[in-house]
């Protein structure tokens, strides 16, 4: 089954209680794992809990960037690298600049995030790290375990953020679900003279060619002569490395009108965009992050959803409740919207650039942000939907509502 944790037969000579035991085990020290760990450190209740974090790497390089928006400082405000109160939207249908206050569009670099959390753990002798590849997870009695290099580590709960399947291998449509990939390549570039407006981020720029699927550029200026430029696609398959480079070169030259620059860093990422129901986990295994369904399937945004989910997990543990968080009615409602958009994009019933242009043209940016954060009311959502083509969206929505009936 795709997008689930791995499993293996449990050897009869490894009864619960034997081997290394911890109260909580976190598999994967990425955004979700370290966000949960940070919250463990915020509450004295967990000070006497033995916590193990397992990851294949040492988290010593800047391997990714997270962008999100919020109205108040969050838990990771100390490592926000830059923030913007204005965003630009471009397309061949509509373009505009938006003042997004009270929101701020924020960027966190991976290395700053890792260093911040890991430095905090030095004050907590109950937190332990090991580097190793997690081969399997399982349940045994009233405990869960992670297998690392044939060694079992037991915990009351295992909080797992590892996708044990290659998300790039799935077809466009399988078993009634839609599968797209958000894939992107970014260059950190510097110019010999001041060029960028460091107070405004380019949120989406759809003026680029759409022949490979929904495609846009975005620009995050960090200084007048420095910016992160990304080339992003929503499509069922990846491009060749050369195509990403060509897309970036063309976007910088043709739309930013910039020819003299040097590339100082590169990043590449793939995020699943699917309405496949990621499992919450079974027994004492709790899936978190993308593995636990915290990536918004219609946009790929993950950071804020991880923060909400890990908050809920902590509150459940503090109350002695099951940390497998149940979906609310509102979450199910937004899943319907996400599935509807995925169906439209997957079956090419409308172009992504036109859909997002209609959304931004007809609504305040703040309302769009709240909608993308799953925080609007039904009344607000109906008003928002009035700006998109009803002849496309209503039939698609009804199809999703009555799928399987």
- Residue 174: predicted pLDDT: 56
Mean pLDDT (the chain, rounded): 91
pLDDT at 295 over 50: yes
Structure-token match 């030095």, residue found: 122
The mean pLDDT value for 340-347 works out to 93
d(CA 364, CA 283): 43
342: pLDDT strictly greater than 60? yes
Give the pLDDT confidence score for residue 20 in this predicted structure. 86
Residue 4: per-residue pLDDT: 30
Instruction: Tell me the pLDDT tens digit for each residue of 65-110.
Output: 999 999 999 999 999 999 999 999 999 999 999 999 999 999 999 9
- Looking at residues 199-225, what average pLDDT do you find? 97
Does the pLDDT value for residue 13 go beyond 80?
A: no
pLDDT at 177: 87
CA distances from 38 to 32, 46, 154, 223, 267 (A): 10, 11, 21, 30, 25
Q: What is the mean pLDDT of residues 140-147?
A: 96
pLDDT at 246: 98
Taking only the tens place, the pLDDT of each residue in 22-59 is 999 999 999 999 999 999 999 999 999 999 999 999 99
Does the pLDDT at position 15 exceed 50? no
Check residue 401 and give its pLDDT: 87
Considering the entire predicted model, what is its pTM?
0.91
pLDDT in tens, 234-261: 999 999 999 999 999 999 999 999 999 9
- Could you tell me what percent of the chain has a pLDDT over 90? 80
Cα→Cα distances 116→18, 122, 147, 259, 265, Å:
34, 11, 28, 36, 21
Q: What is the arithmetic mean of pLDDT over 170-185?
A: 76
Check whether 9 has a pLDDT greater than 90. no
pLDDT value for 404 = 53
Query: Any idea what DSSP says for residue 56?
Result: S
In this predicted structure, what is the pLDDT of residue 359?
94
Per-residue pLDDT at 226 exceeds 70: yes
- Using CA atoms, how far apart are residues 63 and 8, in angstroms rounded to an integer? 31
pLDDT at 214: 96
Range 355-376 average pLDDT: 95
Question: What are the start-end ranges of the H helices in 160-302?
Answer: 241-254
Return the beta strands (E) in 30-171 as ranges. 51-55, 65-70, 80-84, 86-90, 96-99, 104-109, 127-131, 134-140, 143-148, 151-160
pLDDT of residue 116: 98
pLDDT value of position 363: 94
Q: How many CA atoms lie within 13 A of 107 on its CB side?
A: 22
pLDDT in the model for residue 175: 60
pLDDT value at position 330? 93
What single-letter DSSP state applies at residue 142?
Answer: T
CA distances, 300 to each of 133, 183, 275, 338, 397 (Å): 26, 10, 11, 11, 20
- Residue 97 burial by CB count (10 A; 0-12/13-18/19+): exposed, middle or buried? middle
């Amino acid at each position: 089954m795709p997008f689930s944790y791995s499993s293996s037969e449990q050897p009869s000579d490894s009864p619960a209680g034997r081997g290394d035991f911890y109260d909580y085990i976190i598999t994967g020290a990425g955004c979700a794992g370290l966000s949960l760990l940070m919250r463990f450190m915020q509450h004295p209740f967990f000070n006497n809990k033995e916590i193990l974090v397992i990851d294949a790497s040492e988290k010593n390089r800047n391997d990714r960037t997270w962008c999100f928006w919020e109205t108040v400082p969050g838990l990771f405000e100390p490592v926000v690298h830059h923030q913007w109160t204005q965003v630009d939207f471009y397309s061949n249908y509509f373009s505009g600049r938006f003042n997004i206050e009270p929101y701020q569009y924020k960027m966190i670099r991976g290395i700053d995030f890792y260093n911040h959390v890991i430095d905090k753990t030095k004050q907590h002798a109950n937190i332990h790290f090991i580097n190793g590849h997690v081969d399997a997870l399982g349940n045994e009695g009233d405990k869960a375990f992670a297998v690392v290099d044939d060694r079992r580590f037991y915990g009351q709960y295992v909080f797992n953020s590892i996708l044990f399947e290659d998300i790039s291998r799935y077809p466009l449509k399988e078993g009634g679900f839609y599968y797209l990939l958000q894939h992107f390549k970014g260059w950190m570039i510097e110019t010999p003279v001041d060029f960028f407006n460091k107070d405004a981020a380019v949120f989406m720029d759809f003026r680029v060619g759409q022949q490979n699927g929904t495609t846009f550029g975005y620009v995050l200026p960090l200084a007048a002569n420095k910016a992160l430029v990304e080339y992003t696609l929503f499509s069922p398959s990846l491009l060749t490395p050369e195509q990403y480079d060509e897309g970036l070169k063309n976007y910088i030259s043709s739309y930013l009108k910039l020819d003299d620059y040097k590339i100082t860093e590169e990043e590449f990422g793939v995020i699943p965009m699917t309405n496949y129901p990621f499992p919450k986990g079974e027994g004492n295994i709790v899936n978190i992050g993308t593995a636990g369904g915290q990536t918004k399937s219609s946009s790929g945004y993950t950071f804020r959803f991880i923060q909400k989910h890990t908050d809920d997990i902590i509150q459940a543990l503090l109350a002695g409740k099951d940390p497998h968080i149940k979906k609310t009615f509102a979450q199910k409602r937004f899943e319907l919207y996400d599935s509807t958009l995925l169906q439209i994009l997957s079956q090419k019933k409308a172009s992504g650039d036109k859909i997002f242009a209609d959304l931004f043209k007809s609504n305040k940016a703040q309302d769009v942000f709240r909608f993308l954060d799953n925080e609007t009311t039904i009344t607000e959502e109906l008003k928002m939907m009035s700006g998109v083509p009803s002849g496309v969206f209503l039939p698609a929505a009804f199809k999703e509502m009555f799928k399987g009936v």
